[in-house]
Amino acid sequence: MARILITSAIPYINGIKHLGNLVGSQLPADLYARYMRQRGNEVMFICATDEHGTPAELAAAKAGKPVDEFCAEMHAVQAEIARGFRLSFDHFGRSSSERNRVLTQHFAGKLAENGYIEEVSEKQVYSNADGRFLPDRYIEGTCPNCGYDKARGDQCENCTKQLDPTDLIEPRSAISGSTDLEVRETKHLYLRQSALKDKLDAWIDSKTDWPVLTTSIAKKWLHDGDGLQDRGITRDLSWGVPVKKGTEDWPGMEGKVFYVWFDAPIEYIAGTAEWADANGKTDADWERWWRTDKGADDVRYVQFMGKDNVPFHTLSFPATIMGSGEPWKLVDYIKSFNYLNYDGGQFSTSQGRGVFMDQALEILPADYWRWWLLSHAPENSDSEFTWENFQASVNKDLADVLGNFVSRVTKFCRSKFGETVPEGGSYGAAEERLIADLETRVRAYEGFMEAMEVRKAAAELRAIWVLGNEYLQSAEPWARFKTDPEAAAAIVRLSLNLIRLYAILSAPFIPDAAAKMLEAMKTEEASWPGPIAEALDALPAGHGFTVPDVMFRKISDEEREDWQTRFAGQRS
């Protein structure tokens, strides 16, 4: 049994996320967590809400609530939506937790002890119209590298180049739009990432199995231009983790907080500690996942994230861990994703363009979305959500292939043999071919799941469903029943066992439908299949079953057209 630590990028607290955010981190992480649990591994799957920084303050002000109250409410909302999508977190924490405050201050103290923190007097943009210093991400302008006119002061999301606000052409406040900006002097702490460049470079070079997307982004930040830059880790804000050296005050840093990108990844560790606290565990129970001197040597740590988060998880967070000089677990594998675009353009939170997670669950159950998103995951390039493609995929893959198979088999058996697995007959050449084909495809499916090749795994799973349909269509038990009822019984017996097998194999992708299939087959046992011949003999003659309700309903043209119009513009 392996021990697998899984984290997905932490969603920001200031609003409900769209489907592009979901497929870029949390959903594929859940797919992997579910699969690894099925294989008998010990899994720790951690996520949280990212609650500090200016966006949280502004969203709270807009809602007319204190920022801590707003964050608590939005955490509850995001947790409920995550449950709706069946995201199987072991713990869904909060970066504003006491555990994260203590750990963040601890890391800062250790980094300072080891010479990796520098105090820098810097010039920072102050907005006279807003009456405040503007964090980098709240200054917008034109990127000097690619010309994108909505680049932020910390990074251009179009070309991913790291920026300083003063690099922007025609900068403006993202809060008020004002161009009445001036540069004032203030003092901040910087993480000396450049001093760790060689260590980071060697570490990344050792990860020969990482996706090209992950490695290429990390290398670009390490070597392009002036190479890896030192990065400010404090801000002039009131909401956040107060700046301290461990438990000691930090002279000159009074009233400042740590930058959200410094404290947010530390919440992966803190969230595991919160899991221990919530479940009556001891520190040793969470430290065995994170401290290599406490048992984490045999842990495989896998992160899931969109490509915009890769620089911070390949460089900044590892620099924090390395620079501490303590035996913390570094990530083993980073599964990164490109962007999911929306119907000819981009998802837009600000414009309300696209489908948001709460809206998706209002119109269709989670499995419909899970299947489409995972089977179209933007792994090797950006992908695009279109309503036509979504409708076709749901109607064909889920309704016509999987749902139709379950319905035809169970209804036919009930009408001819009753609601028990029929006895009689024996398997012939067609059944042996099916078993051999399934053996090949199931093992290929396992390989893709192990390698986290999400789209290939989905395609293989669909091919496994198709095999059952092709077998049923060719074997024609409804015709065979008229002349050879025992032969028809053998066909149906195999097919009912196929439903059970499909439930087990499909559970990581469509957990609700899988549970419904297992319930219909009157079995809760769902261990991963060994030899397929044995798996297709798991339900013996006489075993009861029920006919489930319609597994998946089809999406009509009228519904598709209505949704296409509804989600094209501003969110109400």
Binding-site annotation, residues for Zn(2+): 143, 146, 156, 159
- Identify the CA nearest to 10 among candidates 123, 73, 91: 91
Q: In which residue are the tokens 């006119």 written? A: 149
Annotated binding site for ATP: 349
| Cα 519 to Cα 511: distance, rounded to the nearest angstrom | 12
Please say whether the beta carbons of 27 and 360 come within 8 A. Answer: no
| Cα 528 to Cα 40: distance, rounded to the nearest angstrom | 8
Cα 340 versus chain centre, distance: 13
Which amino acid, residue 216? S
Residue 166 is classified by DSSP as G
Q: What Cα–Cα distance (Å) separates residue 517 from each residue in 56, 462, 529, 538, 551?
A: 42, 16, 16, 14, 9
| Cα 486 to Cα 490: distance, rounded to the nearest angstrom | 6
Annotated binding site: 143, 146, 156, 159, 349
Please say whether the beta carbons of 304 and 6 come within 8 A. Answer: yes
Q: What Cα–Cα distance (Å) separates residue 143 from each residue in 35, 86, 151, 154, 310?
A: 42, 39, 5, 11, 20
| Cα 207 to Cα 302: distance, rounded to the nearest angstrom | 12
| Cα 499 to Cα 442: distance, rounded to the nearest angstrom | 14
Max Cα–Cα distance, the chain, nearest Å: 92
Give alpha helix (H) positions in 451-484: 454-475, 477-483
DSSP3 helix / strand / coil % (the chain, rounded to 5): 50, 15, 35
Torsion of CA 195, 197, 199, 203, to 10 degrees: 160
Residue 359 is classified by DSSP as H
